[in-house]
Chains A and B, each alone.
Chain A
Amino acid sequence: AQKITQTQPGMFVQEKEAVTLDCTYDTSDPSYGLFWYKQPSSGEMIFLIYQGSYDQQNATEGRYSLNFQKARKSANLVISASQLGDSAMYFCAMREMNSNSGYALNFGKGTSLLVTP
């Protein structure tokens, strides 16, 4: 079963506007971590932000913030003041601490973001 769902295959946003990329997850493990990665056309996966399941506050890293709604099992990424260089694929991922998959991350299918001038 799909553990991470990203329902937006593609998104457009105008430069300097904010954009929200959706992510929902499925787990019965009470201890887990949620990650967002950016993948430009070069292929490298760049770590953006992390949210732990027991964290009381939403994570923020510069222009990135994570809208964590635990009861709804959603972990949306908000990018404020979009820049042209933000155009890339964005992946949501989850790691379950008590999973028999060890340290592995489960990834969603990704959202392609295009920032327009």
Chain B
Amino acid sequence: ETGVTQTPRHLVMGMTNKKSLKCEQHLGHNAMYWYKQSAKKPLELMFVYNFKEQTENNSVPSRFSPECPNSSHLFLHLHTLQPEDSALYLCASSQETGGVSYGYTFGSGTRLTVV
């Protein structure tokens, strides 16, 4: 366990379904992130939250909706997804104190398949 827990580990959903991914960190970090990892492509940053406030939305389609109710929890709500959204979704957290962060802590990811 890294201190960042993602559930579920695997998810298969139809294009008309609504589902949510959950991320929880017990490290006392103040920043949390969603990344998307598709085959043969670099990790793509989706959303950044700092002290529960969204500080970045990296041109992500509105069918992905993030929620950060507190600094320990991060959700990614999914609706009417497309097959090309199938990927590994990684959550990460870090402690940002104005200096350089010595590494982000990632969860194990949710493997999403859209059918």
In angstroms, Cα B48 to Cα A42, docked, is: 24
Q: Are B106 and A103 in contact (CB under 8 A)?
A: no
CB contacts between A and B, total, < 8 Å: 67
Chain A interface size band reads 20 to 34
Q: Are A109 and B42 in contact (CB under 8 A)?
A: yes
Interface-located stretch among B18-26, B67-75, B76-84, B97-105: B97-105
A residues sitting closer than 8 Å to B (CB atoms) are 4, 31, 33, 35, 37, 42-47, 50, 52, 91, 93, 95, 97, 101-110
16 A-B interface contacts by CB (under 8 A): A4-B42, A33-B100, A42-B108, A43-B90, A44-B108, A45-B106, A46-B2, A52-B100, A101-B56, A102-B50, A102-B56, A103-B94, A103-B101, A104-B56, A104-B58, A105-B43
B residues sitting closer than 8 Å to A (CB atoms) are 2, 31, 33, 40-43, 45, 48, 50, 55-56, 58, 88, 90, 92, 94, 96, 100-109, 111
